[in-house]
Amino acid sequence: MNEMTLRELAEKLGGELTGDGARVVRGVAPLETAKPDEVSFLANAKYERHMAASRAAAVLVSADYAGPGESLIRCKDPYFAFRNAMVAFHGFRQPTFEGIDPRASIDPTARVAEGVRIGPNVTVSARVEIGPGCVLYPGVFVGPDSRIGRDCTLYPNVCLYDRTVLGDRVTVHANSSVGQDGFGYATHAGAHHKIPQAGWVELEDDVEIGACCSIDRATMGPTVIGAGTKFSNLVAIGHGTKLGKHCLMVAQSGIAGSTMVGNYCVFAGQAGVVGHIRIGDMARVGAQAGVTNDIQPGQEVLGSPAIPLADARRAMISLSRLPTLRAAVRTLTAELHALKRRLGEAVDEQGDRES
């Protein structure tokens, strides 16, 4: 772990320091638990209540912050500054092994660049190409004719099926599978007949795939995950789907086959998308939404089936009021029946008098 003065940290982050610039700090922590030698950050106003009691040496805040706190580093984007502070103090995970472990199985036709680190029980198949700076943790399998760019990291037990293509700086976390057969069957004469999945998967530059994800190869052509896109854990992508650049997919979300997704789209946890539809740039799909139709660029949807966010919120508010509405309807119905009885009795009495 590194250490530096607050003045050095502020300069590194491009921020403006208010406080003792000579104070030494050694890490980053939440406002509630930060120690006197750690910095913290405030990127969400609802956490401002912790500022007064925080023991942090300094807090990263927005440039226009006007709340409590004597030692502050004002930044244009405090959350991004927090990210950069984390990099400065803690860095990223580094492998604990060097070179190629003798227990790895590397086909003689594979081309492995200088400096690649390969752990035990890794399988590198025929005609695979691996670029410089890559790290393959124990148990990784790389299928025939796959290509891996520069500075990629494959964590334990990652499986890349044949002809998978990774760009530069791609990370795939443990137990994820890329390039398995798509879910393609032709139903005929009462049986499901498998369709050969002759396509492949491409993960473009700077893609990060979480743990236990699955990305199916296409029936024909590529399944594509666009540059800069990030997956959480347990994400599933169907065959032939194409995600644009810089999309975010949160845990347990999934997209069925042959769906076209634009750039900068967000899929919240457990969101599900049917196949063969289009989702425009910068669309946002809320948690547990079930998308069954095209989504326009910039549109936000929620619910199952997914509808525009404003409509979904109104529907949810109405649903929360349903027990009260039902009780009111029961009361009104009873009163209506009572009124009908009274009116009927009045009519009968009037008829008796007239007779």
- Residues known to be catalytic: 239
Q: In sequence order, what are the beta bridge partners of 59?
A: 40, 72
Measure the CA–CA gap between 317 and 80, rounded to whole angstroms: 35
Encoded tokens for 104: 């790895």
DSSP code, position 87:
H
* C-alpha dist (Å) from residue 335 to 313, 332, 340: 32, 5, 9
Measure the CA–CA gap between 201 and 182, rounded to whole angstroms: 11
What is the residue type of 85? A
- 166 by DSSP, 3-state: which? strand
What is the residue type of 163? R
Q: How many CB atoms lie within 10 A of CB 2?
A: 11
Question: Cβ distance 273 to 250 under 8 Å?
Answer: no
Residue closest to 72 by CA, chosen among 29, 16, 24, 11: 16
Question: Cβ distance 242 to 224 under 8 Å?
Answer: yes
Chain-centroid distance of CA 83 in Å reads 17
* Distant-in-sequence contacts of 259-265, Cβ < 8 A, 24+ apart: 262/297, 263/226
| Count of CA atoms in the C-beta half-sphere (13 A) of 215 | 36
Residue closest to 179 by CA, chosen among 193, 166, 192: 166
| Count of CA atoms in the C-beta half-sphere (13 A) of 79 | 3
